[in-house]
């Protein structure tokens, strides 16, 4: 006893896990929900959606979310605002342009992704400054 235990921390682990999850998404492996956004079907993992979005957390955390494997978002975000958010969830990179920022902001608000909402506001604010 008394041997000094120590921890090896693999600092890339979280980004490596996320990168593998994105590869699973792109190949349709273990994706368990189809999101109909603006009529466009997008496959994803509920676990990733619930981890990243307050809206999906409220939908999938309860028993009601168990059987749901197709989810349409009527009156919800348009695809051009939603798709960048789905990519963000799986890559940590949010692609914004002056043309898409308002749609991404609307989608992030709908999905209750407050930190992304703030980043969109900062981007839009900055793009108006001379």
Partner 1 sequence: HEGVVATVKEAGRSIHEIPREE
Contacts with partner 1, residue ranges (CB under 8 A)? 50-54, 57, 89, 92-93, 95, 97, 112-116, 119
Handedness of CA 36, 91, 47, 59 (dihedral sign): negative
> Closest approach of Cβ 6 to partner 1, in Å?
27
Nearer of residues 38 and 50 to partner 1, judged by Cβ? 50
Q: Which is nearer to partner 1, 54 or 102 (CB)?
A: 54
Residues 6+ apart with CB under 8 A from 50: 56, 57, 60, 61
Residue 97 beta carbon to partner 1: minimum distance, rounded to whole angstroms:
7
* Cβ contact 31:45 at 8 Å: yes
């Amino acid at each position: 006893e008394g041997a000094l235990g120590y921890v090896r921390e693999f600092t890339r682990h979280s980004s490596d896990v996320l990168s593998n999850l994105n590869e699973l998404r792109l190949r349709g492996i273990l994706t368990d929900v189809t999101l109909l956004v603006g009529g466009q079907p997008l496959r994803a993992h509920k676990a990733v959606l619930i981890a990243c979005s307050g809206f999906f957390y409220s939908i999938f955390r309860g028993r009601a979310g168990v059987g749901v494997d197709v989810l349409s978002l009527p009156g919800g975000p348009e695809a051009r605002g939603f798709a960048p958010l789905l990519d963000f969830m799986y890559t940590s990179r949010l692609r914004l342009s002056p043309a898409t920022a308002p749609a991404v902001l609307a989608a992030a608000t709908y999905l209750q992704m407050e930190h992304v909402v703030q980043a969109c506001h900062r981007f839009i604010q900055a793009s108006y400054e001379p």
